[in-house]
Amino acid sequence: MNILGQRITWNDEGLLSQALTHRSVGKSNNERLEFLGDSVLCLVISTQLYNSYSQLSEGELSRLRSQLVKGKTLAEVARHYDLGSKIKLGQGEIKSGGVNKSSVLADAVEAIFGAVLQDKGYEYSQMFVLSVMQPWLDKVDPSVIRKDPKSHLQEVLQKQGLSLPVYQTIKEEDVKDGIQFTVNCRVSEKDLLVQAKANSRKKAEQACAEKLVDLLHE
């Protein structure tokens, strides 16, 4: 059987069926396998990056990993391998276009990774994840993540002949662990506005910048 571009013989095909079943169908869905798959994906990608890029710091490796395991990338993975047609959805989710939702697609990819781990063990799942993710691993550019997100955003805007972004702190609120900052960032010429929250203004601005870079690359 082929799934995510890989040939696999299952010991328990029920795991694959569960991995492809969205929560809108009922109680027997892919949420628990998704939890497991998220963990194995992060471990496999972390190990691969650690072994491949000895020159990168912990922070740089973390930023590189986040680009590979985020929902947007996993949705790309699902579309690349035409996974959407295999996902089982409830009627309400079908009507709302669930098969095209990035969150639904990304969750299913993680659930499949979890199912492979349960069915075949870690060593096999490690090879499976690496094979699935190889096209995205091949596109990794360590030079990009060495720039902080705000600097990277500024470069992207300048290359496109656009004005600099405008950051605005719209809320500061007391939370359990200190103060939480809510920041907006706007690129008016593209009519783009994003928002992020963090425990410092700088972190919130950096998170906004990352979101905008993704939108501009789209």
Catalytic residue positions, numbered: 38, 110
Helix, strand counts (H, E) of the chain: 10, 5
Residue 21 in tokens: 């079943």
84 Cβ contact partners less than 8 Å away, ≥ 6 residues apart: 78, 99, 100, 104, 105
Q: Are 157 and 149 contacting, i.e. CB atoms less than 8 angstroms apart?
A: no
Angle in degrees, 0-180, between the axes of helices 71-80 and 58-69, rounded to the nearest 10:
40
Q: How crowded is residue 97: how many other Cβ atoms within 10 Å of its Cβ?
A: 10
Query: How far, in Å, CA of 126 to CA of 129, rounded?
Result: 5
Q: Calculate ∠ Cα 204-61-175, nearest 5°.
A: 30
